[in-house]
């Protein structure tokens, strides 16, 4: 029997961003130079396939530093960033740390610290409990940041009297953030913001690609990503807001190709922490049921690459020599 036809639109860009690529390379390079184990505080990025792959190579994932013995092994901070208290504790214990925080998140940290130093209270647009938000709020003393999660909260938030500044989580919906910010700026006309928006280029590009696929006729958008990945969930929301049905799946094993029945055009994208291999696996699964006509929908070309920490760019040093120097 002939397979039904299906147009499959592939979002470009999709998948790994420069920050995620850098974070993974930091763990891999630490393992290559110093062997296993290399400890990683929290998931290096929000994707179980990436985490399981690194675990298989010798990475040990922990929730907090108190789970790590004082054995001098490398300790990597995840791409989402950490509160200053974590850095302080690592210094107290003289840990050999490698900071895999995305440089764009580090920029937000520095902005928040700069505003605080100038006497401004920070309004942070983001989601409570997300590791990036925890890390950003943890850059300042308690009470220095007020979190705003929605337009409803923006309408009622009551920050302390005095000058205000705003910043945002880097993986939010561009449109939703703009709506929240508009309310805040209307209520607080002297609100100071960053010179350039904090939502990262990769988040913006991936959301724009989803909108472009829906504009080209995709009535179903498949997003490859983890359910606890903020940027992946935002891609699903953007697709639905644009008028398509959206599904968020972790890998090809979760894809029932029959869900594309009745759709002439389907869009496929991946969150910033999802490997391209999962996208290709999704394509193969769909090809088992449909005669695919594949087209890439490109909205931007990404050529950004972030450098590794200096400790990994320098000539390799043995772990023993580092430990002796610390002693």
Residue indicated by tokens 């998931």: 43
- Cα end-to-end span (Å), the chain: 72
Q: Would you say 194 and 123 are in contact if contact means Cβ atoms under 8 Å apart?
A: no
Classify the C-alpha dihedral 16-20-26-32 as positive or negative: negative
**DSSP conformation letters of 222-255:** EEES-TT-HHHHHHHHHHHHTT-EEEEESSGGG-
Distance in angstroms (rounded) separating the CA atoms of residues 160 and 137: 16
Rg for the chain, CA atoms, rounded: 22
Distance in angstroms (rounded) separating the CA atoms of residues 10 and 225: 15
**Of 104, 80, 78, 77, which Cα lies nearest the Cα of 91?**
77
**Of 12, 9, 14, which Cα lies nearest the Cα of 217?**
9
Exactly one of 43, 111, 132, 149 is catalytic; which is it?
Answer: 132
Specify burial of residue 32 (Cβ count, 10 A radius: 0-12, 13-18, 19+): middle
State yes or no: is 89 an active-site residue: no
Q: Which residues are catalytic?
A: 132
């Amino acid at each position: 029997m002939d397979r039904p036809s299906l147009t499959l639109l592939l979002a470009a860009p999709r998948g790994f961003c420069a920050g995620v690529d850098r974070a993974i390379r930091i763990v891999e390079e630490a393992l290559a130079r110093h062997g296993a184990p290399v400890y990683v505080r929290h998931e290096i990025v929000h994707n179980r396939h990436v985490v399981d792959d690194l675990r298989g190579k010798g990475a040990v994932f922990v929730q907090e530093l108190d789970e790590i013995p004082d054995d001098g092994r490398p300790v990597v901070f995840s791409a989402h960033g950490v509160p200053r208290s974590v850095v302080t504790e690592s210094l107290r214990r003289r840990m050999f740390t490698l900071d895999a925080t995305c440089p764009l998140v580090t920029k937000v940290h520095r902005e928040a610290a700069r505003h605080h130093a100038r006497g401004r209270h920070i309004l942070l647009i983001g989601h409570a409990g997300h590791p990036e938000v925890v890390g950003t709020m943890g850059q300042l003393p308690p009470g220095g940041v007020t979190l705003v999660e929605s337009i409803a909260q923006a309408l009622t938030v009551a920050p302390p009297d005095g000058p205000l500044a705003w910043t945002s989580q880097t993986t939010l919906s561009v449109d939703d953030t703009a709506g929240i910010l508009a309310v805040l700026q209307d209520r607080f006309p002297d609100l100071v913001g960053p010179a350039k928006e904090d939502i990262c280029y990769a988040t913006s590009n991936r959301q724009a690609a989803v909108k472009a696929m829906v504009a080209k006729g995709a009535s179903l958008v498949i997003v490859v990503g983890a359910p606890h990945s903020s940027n992946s969930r935002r891609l699903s929301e953007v697709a639905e807001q644009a008028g398509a049905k959206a599904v968020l799946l972790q890998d090809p094993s979760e894809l029932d190709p029959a869900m594309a029945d009745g759709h002439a055009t389907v869009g496929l994208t991946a969150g910033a922490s999802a490997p391209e291999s999962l996208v290709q696996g999704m394509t193969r699964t769909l090809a088992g049921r449909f005669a695919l006509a594949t087209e890439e929908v490109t909205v931007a070309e990404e050529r950004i690459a972030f450098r590794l920490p200096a400790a990994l760019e320098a000539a390799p040093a043995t772990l023993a020599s580092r430990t002796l120097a610390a002693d």
